[in-house]
Amino acid sequence: KIHAPWEVLTTYAEVLNIKMPIKENDIPCAVETPFNWVAWPFRLPEIVMHPEPDYFTAPFSKERQELYLIDDENTFFSPSVRNRIVFYILTRCPYGTEEGKKKFGIKRLINNGTYSAAYPLHDCQYWRKANDPKCENERYTLYREWARFPRFFKEQPLDLIRKYYGERIGIYFAWLGFYTEMLFFAAVVGSICFLYGAFTMNENMSSREICEPSIGGEIIMCPLCDIKCDYWRLNSTCETSEYSHLFDNVATLFFAIFMGIWVTLFLEFWKRRQARLEYEWDLVDFEEEQQQLQLRPEYEAKCTQKRKNPVTQVIRGRKRLLSRILKYKCRISLIIASMIAVIVYRLAVYAAFASIMENTQTLQPIRGLLTPQLATSVTASFLNFVIIMILNFLYERIAIWITDMGRYVNRLTMKMFLFQFVNYYSSCFYVAFFKGKFVGYPGSYTYMFDRWRNEECDPAGCLIELTTQLTIIMAGKQIWGNIQEAFVPWIWNWWGRRKARNNPENLYGRWEQDHDLQNFGALGLFYEYLEMVIQFGFITLFVASFPLAPLLALMNNILEIRVDSWKLTTQFRRPVAAKAHSIGIWQEILNGMAILSVVTNAFIVAFTSDMIPRLVYYYAYSTESDSPMSGYINDSLSVFRISDFLEKNRPEENPGNFSTCRYRDYRYPPDHEKQYTHTMQFWHILAAKMAFIIIMELFKSTNKLIETKGNSLFYGLRFPPPHLSSMGRRRSICWPP
């Protein structure tokens, strides 16, 4: 066991610029409001929420020790500060040379087997208090008041989390809690929009016309694949068109606009919350950038080349260019190959489903909700989810290697996030923006690799397929993630402790008990952030297709907070405490996804949903005054003459001896002088779609104005004036030079 004596602690406290208390805070607390009783059921005891008094602090100086509140040298530095100092020394301690290269750091000694592990100890058992009366039993308190699921409705003891685990983990749980609170409002509005679609399902004229035997039952559609597929009747997609109205209605358009406002307010309010925490936790002048820009010791040790920075004149290590290029090409090739594999699967099985799921007696696919398009989408979604999980497993192994080879933490985070972004969202982008957009028409279909015919959307639209894709991947990821986070560490710990069950407690020491727990690791917090940021993308980038996504995310996050706290408190070794004044580069990633979400939702409403074509028909082409949407289905389907089929497209049989069939497009009929070219209605709809996208871009500019106003308030809270100092829990004093 490593111990740090007083002299070492004071020396490195000054080196690390650690702030220590010099005087108890005498600023009065905020005045209680009459409505505080409303939040009383959700509050924790004061001793749990604020486990230590407020102090005025200053960076520690060995020469001025008499000015600090040093009642006891053994307790002056908290355990989190002590393990942070010890770990700082161990990661930079040299232990030899090999072939002219320096060998240093506890991590390399662990990797080569000199030590089996290195970790700070928990202060007590989580299920009972320590026998030592001097022990604060913070782990026991965190388990009782925070980590148990029956406490899911209670606020989080952020000050106690920060005191025990450090500021970096405290900031993560503060962000996760705030994100979950904001999801409540999005979930309520999304549920209302979904209920609106459910209550107005019977009023949807489009699905009524499709289901009507005299309308949809008389419309003969062109085959869904070449040669093997036959003609089919439109009313076979009745159930799909009815359920598509749940997500493709006027309320969905409103919800997409609402979420554009919500995401901006969420980011701006989080900046305010983060600035307040930064002030309360005495991190205002903490320069995290300096810590992020320090070269990793493992990286510097493995560098074989040196290069002088022309600006700073500092010589830094640099990896070979060839190794970097090979690493990037391997990752990019893996992503592209997985994307193409799923698309090829969709195109290959689409024809199979279309030919199997048909009834030649009635000239229609088997009646039911599962149409060939939806059957392909469901199976492809499950396949894509399995591929995503496999690639994640492989990439986690690669990430461990990249962590030691990475130059800066921020760059490593950005590279890994971009991989996960493509891995999770590529299939959703394909369904939303590419499927059904490059099909061609029966006389001139387009093919992928000159072999597989491109997929068509369901006559009810591609939105229901995007909803299916999003639901399977998002729900599957959350269910699998919670199982993996909760059960896998518990099983490994149970397996590791099986040999120690018969040992008496006096022979099974504190360090041995902690050694049998799982290691949180350098990427532990990264994966927690990544999981939530990927979820954030699902509820913002594609929310126009699935209003219930925020509700699923809310239910998951309520469980996620308790699962994360439970495993951190009971199943993992105590992580090394680290300081952080923000969520770091994740803030920039969230900002980028917020900007992208406005664009993606605008394109989903314009090009994936049928909202714009229906509005154009309603205002410009409808001839019925009593029922303006009557005739929309017939208007949205073009006519093709069967004799114009190419030999490679012509079906083997035509049991009804039909002369024409219908397909989803806006083209002139075969008897028109401009046969099979786009009609003016097509260009009117395209112009309306472009106008909608421009309006959404102007809306994004409005959000930018909100962000600008929020930033001015954010900077005001980051450095609060004296009359706002009561908001803070700590104040810092700088010694004169």
Query: In the chain, where are the structural domains located?
Result: 1-118, 169-303+334-616+686-717, 631-685
Q: pLDDT tens-digit profile of 382-409?
A: 776 777 777 777 766 665 565 554 445 6
Asked if 469 and 543 touch (Cβ cutoff 8 Å), the reply is no
Are 201 and 611 contacting, i.e. CB atoms less than 8 angstroms apart? Answer: no
Query: pTM for this one?
Result: 0.84
CA distances from 456 to 2, 462, 493, 665 (A): 66, 9, 50, 11
Tokens linked to 344: 């090829």
Contact at 8 Å (CB) between 237 and 460?
yes
In 10 A of CB 570, how many CB atoms? 20
Q: Round to whole Å and give the CA distance between 503 and 556.
A: 39
Burial (0-12, 13-18, 19+ Cβ within 10 Å), 474? buried
Closest to 692 measured CA to CA, from 603, 632, 621: 603
Low-confidence stretches of the chain (pLDDT < 50) are 289-295, 297, 313-315, 317-319, 321, 359-362, 364-369, 405-407, 713-737
Structure tokens at 51: 């486990």
Q: Within 310-371, where are the H helices?
A: 321-356
Write the DSSP assignment of 93-144 as a string of letters: -EEEEETTEEEE-HHHHHHTTS-S---PPPSS-SSS--S-TT---HHHHHII
Whole-number pLDDT of residue 705: 58
State the burial class of residue 153 (Cβ atoms within 10 Å of its Cβ: 0-12, 13-18, 19+). Answer: exposed
Note the pLDDT of residue 315: 47
Q: Which helix (H) or strand (E) holds 158?
A: helix 158-165
Give the residue among 577, 486, 582, 521 at the shortest CA–CA distance from 147: 486
CB 643 within 8 A of CB 650: no
Positive or negative: CA dihedral 269, 272, 275, 281: negative
pLDDT digits (tens, 9 = 90+) for 103-160: 888 888 887 788 888 899 888 888 888 777 777 788 999 999 999 988 888 889 999 9
Residue 530 CA, distance from chain mean position: 6
- The residue type found at 302 is K
Residue 2 and residue 109: Cα distance in Å, rounded? Answer: 15
Q: State residue 723's pLDDT score.
A: 37
**What are the angstrom distances between the C-alpha of 736 and each of 61, 475, 733?**
12, 57, 9
Taking a C-beta distance cutoff of 8 angstroms, is the pair 611, 253 a contact? yes
| Residue 362 DSSP label | T
Cβ-based neighbour number of residue 160 at 10 Å: 23
C-alpha separations of 451 from 226, 342, 445, 650 in Å: 11, 15, 11, 16
Q: What is the pLDDT of residue 171?
A: 94
Q: In sequence order, what are the residues at sequence separation of 6 or more whose Cβ sits closer than 8 angstroms to the Cβ of residue 695?
A: none
The DSSP code sequence of 389-408 is: HHHHHHHHHHHHHHHHH-S-
Buried b (16+ CB within 10 A) or exposed e, 604-631: bbbbbbbbbbbebbeeeebeeeeebbbb
Q: Residue 594's beta-bridge partner residues?
A: none
CB within 8 Å of 270: residues ≥ 6 apart: 175, 178, 179
User: In the structure encoding, which two tokens stand for residue 102, read together?
Assistant: 């320096």
